[in-house]
Amino acid sequence: MQNVSFIIPNYNAENTIDKCIESVQKQKYSEKIEIIVIDDRSTDNSLQVISKYKNIKLIKNEKNLGLASSLNKAIKLSKYNTLCILWCDCILVNNNWLNEMVKTYNKNKNVGAISSKLIIPKEYWNEFSFYDKVILVKDYEVSLKNKQKEGRPSLFNKKLLFKMGLYDDKTFRIAGEDTDLIWKIKEHDYKVINANTEILHLHGFYNLSFKKQLLKKALPLAEASGVILYLTLLIPYINIISSILIILLISAYTFKVAKYVKDKRIIIVPLFKFLKDIITIIGFWKGFITRKQEF
């Protein structure tokens, strides 16, 4: 077994960062654990929450760097060669999580990363706000039906990450940081192995309103992706087919939400989905122009 550095990138996660840190501190692991929290200029009470924890290294960015640059900065400052990267709205499912992850890594050859299944338990789902449920319904369904094909890459070899150039913080990416890194690992002929472990996703604990869900979450997250179908509305002749497909997709999404969410506000889901997709396009081009990926 080897010493492990946990890296937790934080941005405005005052509702979840305490649960995240505590899940790491509760790990029953025989070797040394280092916990690094890197804050990317949060504007909420995150820093006050983080400051109450001892034996963690807190890095405060002087300016907002974005997720990829923040992760690279923390990786360079970490002490150990084995890294666990954990998002600030996630918690480890039990205190044996790290043992299982490291065992899986040690018994496999030519491994680039070990993934852990990302789940939303029903008891957490029931606490989410209406709009958070609308956003996370697909993730919840996959979790509920245990159909997740690949988990979130969480454990890495630092030397290998340096060999691959760490996270790409200079090139605009259509995919997010996780997907981009998986592609790089596989391009270098390394494997991504799924461990028999789980991470609980607490994204819905933000309890965001209609407006905040669109502007505070959808917009910055969209800077790593785009909705290509909507762009075809600008192409003559094809735009008619695109309009029909968009209506069908929004309708299918609304029915999926109605399956898991019993709320009279279900009637505004089509509008919410349409606006979120439009904002995704705006965020996509904002990210393309600024060349910056955010949390």
Do 106 and 176 fall into the same domain?
Answer: yes
pLDDT tier, 152 (very low <50, low <70, confident <90, very high otherwise): confident
DSSP summary character for residue 195: E
Top-confidence residue, 181 or 119: 119
Do 129 and 255 fall into the same domain?
Answer: no
Domains of the chain: total: 2
Q: How many of the other CB atoms lie within 10 Å of CB of 233?
A: 12
Which range, of 61-75, 93-107, 231-245, 252-266, averages the lowest pLDDT? 231-245
Q: Select from 6, 69, 76, 79 the least CA-distant residue to 40.
A: 69
Residue 295 placed within a domain:
no
State residue 295's pLDDT score.
Answer: 45
**Domain final position from 206, 235, 254:** 206
State residue 235's pLDDT score.
Answer: 79
Instruction: Give residue-wise pLDDT tens across range 260-273.
Output: 998 999 999 998 88
Residue 222 placed within a domain:
yes
Do 199 and 229 fall into the same domain?
Answer: no
Residue 34 placed within a domain:
yes
Do 29 and 112 fall into the same domain?
Answer: yes
Residue 165 has pLDDT above 70, yes or no: yes
**Domain final position from 178, 206, 234:** 206
Top-confidence residue, 242 or 150: 242
Do 24 and 157 fall into the same domain?
Answer: yes
State residue 30's pLDDT score.
Answer: 95
Buried b (16+ CB within 10 A) or exposed e, 249-285: ebeebbebbeebbeeeeeebbeebbeebbebbbebbe
**Domain final position from 169, 189, 206:** 206
Instruction: Give residue-wise pLDDT tens across range 189-219.
Output: 899 999 999 999 887 555 666 666 555 554 4
Residue 194 placed within a domain:
yes
Do 227 and 198 fall into the same domain?
Answer: no
Do 69 and 147 fall into the same domain?
Answer: yes
Adjacent-strand bridge partners of 80: none
Do 31 and 87 fall into the same domain?
Answer: yes
Residue 110 placed within a domain:
yes
**Mean pLDDT to the nearest integer, 84-105:** 95
Strand-by-strand arrangement of the 90-92 sheet: 57-60, 33-39, 4-10, 82-85, 152-157, 111-119, 191-201, 90-92
Do 77 and 184 fall into the same domain?
Answer: yes
Do 190 and 235 fall into the same domain?
Answer: no
Residue 25 placed within a domain:
yes
Do 144 and 166 fall into the same domain?
Answer: yes
Top-confidence residue, 100 or 212: 100
Instruction: Give residue-wise pLDDT tens across range 12-47.
Output: 899 899 999 999 999 999 999 999 999 999 999 999
Domain span at residue 148 reads 4-206
Residue 69 placed within a domain:
yes
CATH code at 106?
Answer: 3.90.550.10
Residue 83 placed within a domain:
yes
Do 164 and 33 fall into the same domain?
Answer: yes
Share of the chain above pLDDT 90, in %: 44
